[in-house]
Structure 1
């Protein structure tokens, strides 16, 4: 029996309610009426976005203190966790472990039936799911969720920008169904969470920690290198035939995939991550600010999610053979892409230590 008066009961309740997505998905798969009716698919999606929150209130949250019962984000996270289980089932379907969600690719979101779609659904069903449970507990217990919340914000925003825009301009532009609208809440909620976190944090700054040391110099070089590498990969993605880019195009042919996702991912890095790296490199030698620390953790989410999706999709056999990462260059591809994430995590840890 879950004790509905304790903070730990919140993530437990969310986890238990989210598992209802399994029988829900099998029931919808059995009812073939939905399979050829995009409007019906949208209706089922709306039910999936409402029902978990109602169940959570009726069984658990109404018995909790005001900070839980009246916090809309806990209800939203219950819904999103439910969606995570559905996404995990989609990922398993694409990996061939089940066929329970196979119908959804025809009438729901056909663009999920791609290497990128598989990768982002696996990420959502594992990492985002764990973040929902963690943040829900931190909220219920009155603990700080700044770091976990900002990582989630970055992960959701980065994923959404690449996925939603890629669907509209890529090969699936003529196959966008009404269920596409179900993605809108997943882009709006992170903005409000970020607004809350930034509002709760009092502006603070401290002298630059360890300025002039080898560690600071090394991180500065790493950030400048990451900015340069991001711009270089943009050239590879859009102009792979020149001498300076052709070599890397052979290592990372996925950048030339007719799917828009890899090019959009690199564009996000070139136009969003690279400028931040330059600003962050400068901040290492000046007063450390809470704002840089906040944005560093947001970019941890952006880059970790982006690199996971990019690596998994690039090496997946769901791509055409011409765009798959060759076995001979896979080590270089993986190491280079992991290094991108490692630099951003290094910055976030360093900035957090400097602003404590």
Structure 2
């Protein structure tokens, strides 16, 4: 029996609604250890179901199973965000109390929205590509950057912020989101590239500057929120994203930088996830009022952060539009001619 790719993945992912509702009604799941064990068992059962029902022409690519199972967890995250914002109820209350209470923060809700919408659509698109034997390397690298950015901010933020004392055993359910992307990234980078059509802070660390002080207090007070997510995010920008921007400038000036197109996609996905979560958290009602962006400066704040997110996407677009510029130069001159004689 073969699981039809997209209908099967959608059906399996939407099963998150009855599964979470049923588990929410089980009183025994009031203990943190029971919640963690149940979550691990659900993921294991899902993987087994996908493996057994998905045997077929697409089964030679193990990422098919990863994307299908992750589509289920994406819907779980969407349920969490919708329930925490009051749109639905009775699904994940048990998990939020004794599982991962830090997901009730504005940042936690925003990354759940991102995972439940953007990552979910990426999973479905990559599942379609796998079943149709199409190259999904571009989508995969964008997803990889987005997911890794979420993890490198979310996990340290939980351990360093005010929710560090509320870490429960369910925190270990995030381990697959550390290990699997590393493995998936190696597979994605090893996939052949599509052939080109042509030939060959201190800001959040209490900077004494008056301009920094004014900006933090007047435009982005969320940077002072004790949950630690914004501080970790700015550190990631400073130590990883800023150096990449410098390398990106170099790659645009010097032809033949074959590494730039792939990493441009990774960082575009990473910055998109980061800016969505950061901007959403700065405006969300779960963020304490003193740390929310004042309404009178919303447009300046939004314009600044949208432009910041736009830069990496323009770089990725440039790489995809003119891939020949980033290909190694073909041998020319007498030496090149002699090799063919």
Q: Same fold (TM over 0.5)?
A: yes
Residue of structure 2 in register with 1:42 after alignment = 36
In 2, distance between residues paired with 1:355 and 1:288?
Answer: 10
Q: Secondary structure at the match of 1:236?
A: coil
Q: Secondary structure at the match of 1:98?
A: coil
Residue of structure 1 in register with 2:338 after alignment = none
In 2, distance between residues paired with 1:74 and 1:203?
Answer: 20
Residue of structure 2 in register with 1:295 after alignment = 263
Q: Is the 8 A contact 2:50 2:69 kept in 1?
A: no
Following superposition, the deviation at residue 146 of structure 1 comes to 1.2
Following superposition, the deviation at residue 202 of structure 1 comes to 6.0
Q: Deviations over 1:91-112 (max 9, x none)?
A: 0111011232122122100110
Q: Deviations over 1:250-302 (max 9, x none)?
A: 21110011110011111111110100101110111111433111000000110
Scaled by the length of structure 2, the TM-score of the pair is 0.89
In 2, distance between residues paired with 1:58 and 1:271?
Answer: 43
After TM superposition, what 4+ stretches of structure 1 lie above 4 angstroms from structure 2? 202-207
Following superposition, the deviation at residue 46 of structure 1 comes to 0.9
In 1, distance between residues paired with 2:153 and 2:38?
Answer: 25
* Alignment pair present for 1:79 and 2:47: no
Q: Secondary structure at the match of 2:203?
A: helix
Residue of structure 2 in register with 1:177 after alignment = 168
In 1, distance between residues paired with 2:197 and 2:252?
Answer: 11
Following superposition, the deviation at residue 20 of structure 1 comes to 1.0
175-184 vs 194-203, which deviates more?
A: 194-203
196-205 vs 16-25, which deviates more?
A: 196-205
Which is greater in Rg? 2
Number of residue pairs the alignment of both structures matches: 322
Q: Deviations over 1:92-148 (max 9, x none)?
A: 111011232122122100110100000000111110111111111112211111110
Residue of structure 1 in register with 2:11 after alignment = 16
Following superposition, the deviation at residue 204 of structure 1 comes to 9.3
Q: Is the 8 A contact 1:206 1:289 kept in 2?
A: no
Following superposition, the deviation at residue 52 of structure 1 comes to 2.0
In 1, distance between residues paired with 2:196 and 2:249?
Answer: 16
In 2, distance between residues paired with 1:239 and 1:196?
Answer: 41
Scaled by the length of structure 1, the TM-score of the pair is 0.86
Following superposition, the deviation at residue 326 of structure 1 comes to 0.5
In 2, distance between residues paired with 1:116 and 1:58?
Answer: 36
In 1, distance between residues paired with 2:191 and 2:128?
Answer: 18
Residue of structure 2 in register with 1:163 after alignment = 154
* Alignment pair present for 1:200 and 2:191: yes
Q: Is the 8 A contact 1:156 1:187 kept in 2?
A: no
Q: Is the 8 A contact 2:144 2:185 kept in 1?
A: yes
